[in-house]
Amino acid sequence: MRHVFWMAIFAGLTGVVFGAVAKGTDRQRLIYGLKVFAEFMAIAFILGWILYFLPIR
Amino acid sequence: MVAKSAEQSENVETPRVAWLMGLAAWAVPGLGHLLQKRWVRGLLLGGGVWVMFITGLALGGHLFTVSSKDQGLAALVQFLPMSANVGTGLLYLMCWITNTGFAEQAHRLTYEYGNTFLLVAGLLNYLAALDAFDIAAGRKE
């Protein structure tokens, strides 16, 4: 749970910075920041499940 | 006609203030935007980088440096993450002067998270510095 928490904090802060430097209206930048956050989270979960099934321990 | 206007746009000199804003944004995260009265953007960018840097240190991450002990490929391996860390500007310099955050704490569970936070804080600040430069140069609103 702790790892998911820090991953979410990381994704959130990165989304804030990416959204702030993006071009467009405030609304477009807000949506872009949220999209970056969601992509980070989704990719992390997908990769996590893929790695779970791989015998690499 | 098109070629001529393209040539003209290439010859436009970058204002000196743009370089100063870029430097200020690199040195102190958020400062480049605040000096240009981009309050919200400055607080978001600066706040994001500062929080990420402090969180990275709190999680047990360590800053990279190239020492005289590192030779050849070992120096290169240290140099790449160090250049990412240096992106935090004076934050890195202050840590270097006070010898804070350079000790490895691999026994901590969140050690790798801390390293990632510190590296990405520097990289994001490079992005913020470029943004401040572009705004000052009139290339971005």
Tell me the domain boundaries of chain A.
2-53
State whether B110 and A6 contact (CB < 8 Å): yes
Give A55 to chain B, closest Cα distance, Å.
22
Give B133 to chain A, closest Cα distance, Å.
12
ipTM of the complex: 0.87
| Strand, helix or coil for residue B16 | helix
How confident is the model over A3-38, as pLDDT tens digits?
A: 899 999 999 999 999 999 999 999 999 999 999 999
Domain ranges of chain B: 15-131
B117 part of contact set with chain A, CB < 8 Å:
yes
How confident is the model over B78-133, as pLDDT tens digits?
A: 899 999 999 999 999 999 999 999 998 888 888 899 999 999 999 999 999 999 99
Give A33 to chain B, closest Cα distance, Å.
12
User: How far is Cα A44 from Cα A36, in angstroms, rounded to an integer?
Assistant: 12
Could you count the other beta carbons within 10 Å of the beta carbon of residue B127? 17
Mean pLDDT of B8-37: 89
Q: Which runs of consecutive H residues, i.e. helices, occur in B1-141?
A: 2-10, 16-27, 31-35, 39-58, 73-85, 90-98, 111-136
Mean pLDDT of A36-56: 92
B43 part of contact set with chain A, CB < 8 Å:
no
Q: Which of A9, A17, A23 sits opposite B124 (nearest CB)?
A: A17
